[in-house]
Structure 1
Amino acid sequence: MWNSPAEFFAMGGYALYVWCSFGICVLVMFIEPASIRIRRKAIIKRLQQERLAEQFDKEGRQ
């Protein structure tokens, strides 16, 4: 139980650990979806290039 906002933010002397943990958690929650989106776009681009290469190869054989 905290008697004031200052005590709440001090977290009983563990403020650095607590707030850094929250900060890292929030950072990861933003970075993870962004990295997944970037990897997805790269995979789609690579698959499109492979499909075009296969089409070009088939046209060259005919």
Structure 2
Amino acid sequence: MFFDSMSEFWHMGGYGFYVWLSFGATLICFVGAWAHTVYTRKKIIAGVRSFQERRARRKSAAKTERVL
């Protein structure tokens, strides 16, 4: 579809509001999904790191108990 001016492009034959609203809603959904993924990944990595540290402390404590 060709437009004679930028104004016609933005108005899109009277449907511009709905077209740009749908683009905006889609963009918001994509950004929200991306942000949720990043947040969840950070939480999972922090949980795994915490688990590994806890495991190392317990292993170290078990070695100390055997020595005593």
The reply to whether TM is greater than 0.5 is: yes
- 1:47 counterpart = 2:27: no
CA–CA distance in structure 2, aligned partners of residues 3 and 58 of structure 1: 73
CA–CA distance in structure 2, aligned partners of residues 52 and 4 of structure 1: 62
What residue is the counterpart of 1:58 in the other structure?
A: 59
CA apart distance, 1:48:
0.7
Q: Kindly tell me the number of residue pairs found equivalent between the two proteins.
A: 62
Gaps of 5+ in 2: 64-68
CA–CA distance in structure 2, aligned partners of residues 29 and 46 of structure 1: 26
The structure having more radius of gyration, on CA atoms, is 2
CA RMSD in angstroms comes to 1.9
Identity across aligned pairs (percent)?
Answer: 31
Large movers: runs of 4+ above 6 Å: none
